[in-house]
Amino acid sequence: TDGKLAKLQGKTLEPLAIVDVAEAQAKALGIVGPSRERSAGAADQLIVSDRLILVLSADGRLARFNPDTLEVMAVSPDVMQLGDRKSEEEGGSTEISSWMVDASGNNIYLLTGAMLIKLNTQTLIAEEKLALSRVDERVCGDRFMARYDLNGDNRVTMDEFNGTEAEFARLDSNVDGAITADEAPQPTETAEGGEQLRVTRHGVYVYRNGQVFRLNPKNLQKEKEITLEDIADANVRPPRREGIWD
């Protein structure tokens, strides 16, 4: 609260240790002088287990604290520096929308509007990064027509389309053998809450722009685009309608 992390005795609520998160991070990073100002309304985020305490501060730094003493064990510089500038320029957000530690406690996954980043829990060093634009491969609206309308007649036929016949049939709503601009897939606005992340023993699941993808937890390569039925089979609850994992 208010930038401070406190450990209390469970029965008496007696303070056992208190640390100023920003000052502890700055000291661990060797930063001299006042810490960065906190944005209005910004909040730190906390993950606690019997083995570790992780604090993602409002200024974008991730720190691991000793569960017993609250001593800083490792600090990552501004995690947004780990991102992909090109993806951000293409419209990806630099705010962390979701983050999780896997069941082993060995890996941390950070999800932004532009990147999925895998960190080592002990060192907080980025081990893998994936630009989400490489995951969300749908081409929508005018971009769909520009890519597939090869002869410029404002119609995309099966000969021009590189998808399956089933995908073509789903888009060709009037069954006239061609996809027009009105029938082309349209971009889906992600509801408030942004991209969502879930990490299970089955894989890493990313909900983005109305789609769900399963990624390999080791290398973050896309394994498949999945349906809500696939998620149910993996014992992962799908996002609610507003786009938030429950």
pLDDT in tens, 96-127: 778 889 888 899 998 877 788 999 999 998 88
User: Can you tell me the distance from the alpha carbon of 231 to that of 228, in angstroms, rounded to the nearest whole number?
Assistant: 5
- Give whole-number Cα distances, 136 to 12, 21, 149, 211, in Å: 50, 36, 21, 8
- Burial of 87-111, coded b for 16+ CB within 10 Å and e otherwise, reads bbeeebbbebbbbbbbeeeebbbbb
Quick one: pLDDT band at residue 154, thresholds 50, 70, 90? very high
Q: How confident is the model at residue 189 (pLDDT cuts 50, 70, 90)?
A: very low
CB 246: neighbour CB atoms within 10 A? 6
pLDDT value of position 53 = 93
Residue found by looking up tokens 């780990």 in the block: 82
CA 171 – CA 184 distance, rounded (Å): 7
- Selected residue with higher pLDDT from 99 and 36: 99
What is the reported pLDDT for 5? 92
Output the pLDDT for position 176.
94
Rounded to an integer, what is the distance from CA 164 to the centroid of its chain?
A: 29
Sign of CA dihedral 60, 63, 67, 68: negative
For 38-71, the pLDDT digits (tens) are 555 567 888 887 788 999 887 778 899 999 999 9
The pLDDT, as a whole number, for residue 232 is 58
Long-range contacts: 2-7, Cβ < 8 Å, 24+? 3/38, 3/44, 3/57, 5/46, 5/53, 5/55, 5/65, 5/70, 7/70
> Quick check: 225 pLDDT over 90?
no
Residue 188 has pLDDT above 60, yes or no: no
pLDDT at 88 over 70: no
Which 8-state DSSP code applies to residue 7? E
* Average pLDDT value for residue range 143-166: 86
